[in-house]
Every structure is written in structure tokens, then in C-alpha cells.
Chain A
Amino acid sequence: MGRSAALTVLAFLLTFLAAFISPASADEAALRATIAKFAQAKNFQATESVVKELAAAGDPAVEKPLAALAEGDLYVRKSDAAVFIGRESGQAVKLADPLTGAEAGEAAKSEVTKVRVNNSLRRAIREALGSLTLGAEDPAARLAAAQTMFRTPDPDAIEALDAAIAKEGVASVKTALEQARAAAALASDLPEADKLAAIQVVAARGDRDALSLLTGFQARAEGPQKEAAAAAISTINSSLAIWAAGQNVWYGISLGSVLLLAAIGLAITFGVMGVINMAHGEMVMLGAYTTYVVQNVIRTSAPNLFDWSLAIALPLAFLVAAAVGFAIERGIIRFLYGRPLETLLATWGVSLILQQAVRTVFGPTNREVGNPSWMSGAFELGQLSITWNRLWILCFALAVFFVLLFVMKKTPWGLQMRAVTANRRMASSMGIRTPWVDALTFALGSGIAGIAGVALSQIDNVSPNLGQGYIIDSFMVVVFGGVGNLWGTLVGAFSLGVLNKFLEPYAGAVLGKILVLVLIILFIQKRPRGLFALKGRAVEA
């Protein structure tokens, strides 16, 4: 007994050494010998020790039998105690070689016995697989293994980690490995100095995992270790608070970009032309439905173009919304210039008609608009989690804003628009066709609402009520920012977005929104012309 134990230890050390020097050349025969021990294992502890032994070999090849074991697919043939990976098919079991996966014939169910596993054994296998991939070729796999080991620290893994750290070449993976080692050190019975150093390493990581690890450690530690852990926890907490604030800023900017998109068309029609367009939200809705139609056509006729669906929908949405806007201006609004309250009512009527029209054509339920692949998913930036679609929408909103700014400030058309706004009769006597400019300006504002709809279809429900949700917010943004000023709209949108998201954690989503509305109402009392009011000397501008 003592002799065989010593041999086992020797074999263990040898295989470990072999793995350490070059994992690829681990002796296949030795592995097979270890795997064969599954046949002798009479209870779960014995199986677990075999698992650990296999893991210690550090050869990626053992992943296959271990994964099969975790799934309960590892079998022992009764006749010769050989171990196989098996797949049940009817009354028979298809056998395969545990290392190579090569076919090894079939056996009746009665001829084989399954190697049984329980939950604690499955956990051991998972950890073993984690440490196994420490030797993987792919740095991403090594990183993932290190992260797993950080979350489930195991004092026995310290040596393996030390070895991995020593030969690790990629800096980020090395840091992760060191953190995993520190986590393991905290769980071990290493001397105090080591643990204090480990606390520093874990604290430097500074995320929620580190926090929970240290909190757990602090509960069972004593003396200077406890103090060090407490200090580290407070450092992590304060840095997490900063990250949380950063995350709120990001959410706020993201909300602000949505507000900007929704409001920017209104900044043209309301801000520049002074037309109260209550049907603005419906232009956004039309844009969203255009996206839906485009995606439907693409799905049925050219599925491989799906990633381009938004790019195709953009000009179409602009044209659809601009055409509707043009029709509204020519048909209704031009008779109501100088009567803003009547304009408000008439355009409200238009919005009701458009909503009901869309409801009649597309039905009252939400329509599904898909995300193209480049807009799905998320990535991490430090402790910030950023979704791609929000990031794209932010970029898109800014791009639309600056293009619009360019059109307004640098093109002849923009010059005419501003001239008509500043002094209609003077502009008219200089030969500008003011009714035409009015119609085109309104169409531009509506068209921009339409392309906002394309973007908003990615994050909101596409339903006939889509526009209703944005109309009050859009007006708030334009009025808050200052009518007739595009920069005001930009600043207004982002400050309202960030303010909203900062109020939410304290007041809750609904109350936060109410507070923002109340603040805007109070703000308008103080500065009735918004943040960036146009300077003028008129009594009633």
C-alpha cells in the first residue's frame, strides 16, 4: 500500500514535471494508465482523486474524458476493465477511445458500467478543466481559465498557477493568473506576509468579484490581515462607486443620444421655423415602420443583405418621412403660419390620423425589427458594460447632428432657411422663394425624424404608439436647450439624459422622470427662452 502510494506520488510528480516542461509531449501511455484507474475507483472520492491526477497531467488531451465524465458518458467495459467514452443508442452503447475519440465498436448496456458522478465531483471536474486550460495555446482560453479559478479559489492550484505565471508571456493573462493565485493564496494556509501581498493583488483588480472574495476573507481573517482586507474593501468600494457613476454617465449619454435623435428634427421644425409639430413623433414612427418593411423585404428576397438593412432603410425612411412632412406643410401648415396654437391642434389631428393609419395597415401589435450582427452584443471597458447598439446610436446621433449643423451653416440652402427665419419679407424681396424654403425646411425636419426612427427601431418597440412616447420629451429638450439653437438641443438632450439617469437610482425610474419634468417646468420659469436663448430686443419675441 505504502509502496503504491509512493509510486502514485512519483508518477504524479513526473507527469506534472512533464507538463511543466512541454505539455504536448506528455506521455500518452501514462495518461491511459491514469484513465484506467477509473475502472478501479469504487467511490466518489476515489474517482475525484483520479480526476485530480488527470488534471495534474496538464495535457489538453485529457479534456475529452473529463468532459465526458462530467456528462456521465464515461463507461467501463466489464470484460477487460477498459475505459471508453460512450453514447447510448437504444439498447447498445457506442464506444469511443477516451483520448483520441476514435470509434471502438459497440457494447450492450449490460456489458458496460457507467462511471457515476455527483455534484461535488462535477465541481471538481469543472475546476480541473479550468486549470487544464491554463496550458492552452489560445491566450483567451488561458484568460478564461484564470478568471474561473479566481472565482473558485483552490489552494491546491497554487503550484500550477505559479508554473503558469512563470511561463506566461501575455501581460493581461499574466495579471489574471497572478490574481487567481492571490485568490488561491487567501484560501490557503500560507504565511501572513503572502496573504497580505495577495490582498494587495486582489484589491488592485477592484471589481465586484474581488469585493466578494475579500469580504468573504475578511469574515474569517484576524489581526493585520483583517485590517488589510478592510482597507482593500473600502478602496474597492470607492473605486466601484466611481465606476458606477461612470456607468450612469454612459447610460445618461446613451439616453441623451436617443433624446437628441428624437428632438433634432423638432429643433428644425419648431426651433428654426417656429412650427409646433405635434405629429413629429409620428414621423419617427414612420421611419421605424419603414425599417420594418425594408427588413421584411430583405428577409424574404435577399437574406444575405440583412446586415445592410439599416443602411438601406436610412434613405428610404428619410424620403418617406420627408414626403409626408412636405404634404403636411403644403396641405395644412402653410395656411396656419402666425397661428401657432391652431398649428398645434391641426398637427395633433394629423398625428392621430397617422397613428390610426399605421394601426390599420400594420396592426396594433408590436412589430419585430431585428438587430444586424454588428449592432448586437456588448463589450466591457474597465467596469463599464457598453452595448454595441447604444454606442452606434450615439455615434449616429452625433453624425446626424453635425451633418445638420453643416447644412444649416455652410450650404446655400441653410443660408436661405436662416434668412427666411430671420426676416421673411426681406428674404422674399431678395428673391428667395419663401414658401418653397418653408416646405423644404419642414420636409428636412420630418425626414430627420424619420431616420431617427430607423435608429430607435433598434432599441424600442415598433408600435403605432412609438411616437407618442417621444413627443413630450422632444419638446422638453428643444425648449430646455433654447429654441432656434441646434447646439442648445445637443446640450439639452445630453444634460437631460444624464440628469435623468443620475436621479433614477435615488428616486426610481418614474419619480426620476417626474422630477426632471418638474425641474424643466421650473427652469422654463426662470429662463423662458431656454439655456441658449437667441439674443433680441423684442418685447414679445
Chain B
Amino acid sequence: MPEANTPVFRRAVIALNGGPIDSYMVRLALEVTRHTHAELIAVHVVELDWTQPLDADVATEEAQRVLDAAEGIAEVMHGKLESVLIQARDVGAAIVDEAAARDADLLILGLPYRTRFGGDFAIGRAVPYAFQNAPCAVWVVREPMGEESK
């Protein structure tokens, strides 16, 4: 018997990658949670390779700007948004771990429309990782195809 009620989220984590889909995701999340007053957490992960220590001072102004832009959208839409900047070796694991640590019941990820050489769709590593490991619901927002891809 399918549930008749719309699912209600208490806490959602939005993973931002600094791309054009970010503002769309933030607006969508704010709109979805407008009436439920769910807590929104924007997470941006700066990926570090193994040549640098995990606490290296590499989080640039640009990384800060990704989260500041999200906060700006929330302010304009009169919503509340907490922002978290993370340094990690693997983006997918960091996002899922942060969502789990915060007991989120929704994880929203953005996915750029990219194709590999040969034409196959490239889904990257973070989304499959989240699908396999996130304890909560996962939404993936794929950006629209470019004109040349259509």
C-alpha cells in the first residue's frame, strides 16, 4: 500500500560544488522546506590530494564564496541556511559522513551534464558513492543539457 502523505524532511544537506547548478539546488531546497521549516545545511568540500596534510590552509576565498553565495540566496528568499566548509580526501565520503553526522534525512547533490570521450554519460564518483552509502534519502539534480548535447 503506497503512502499517501508527502514526505516531510527535518534536516537536509545540500552539497555544493561551485557550479551553475548550486543556486538552483539551494532555491529548490528552500522552496521544498519552506513550509516544514526544515534545517538546511550547505556543504562545500575542498578535495585535497595526498601530497598535502588534511588541515592544510588551502580553503581559498573562492571556496568561501561558494557558500556565501548560497547564504545570499537564502537571505533573499527569507530562509535559514547553515554553511559548512570541509577539507577531505574524497568529496563523496565527506558529504555522506557530514550528512550522517548531522542526522540529515535528505541529501541533495548536483550533477553537471558531462560526457566521456566516446559519448557515455559521466556520473562522476560522488553521486554513486552517495547512492550506495548515504543513510538518508538522496536527491540528485542534474543540470540541463547544453545546446550542443541535445
A is bound by B: no
Give residues in A with beta carbon < 8 Å to B.
none
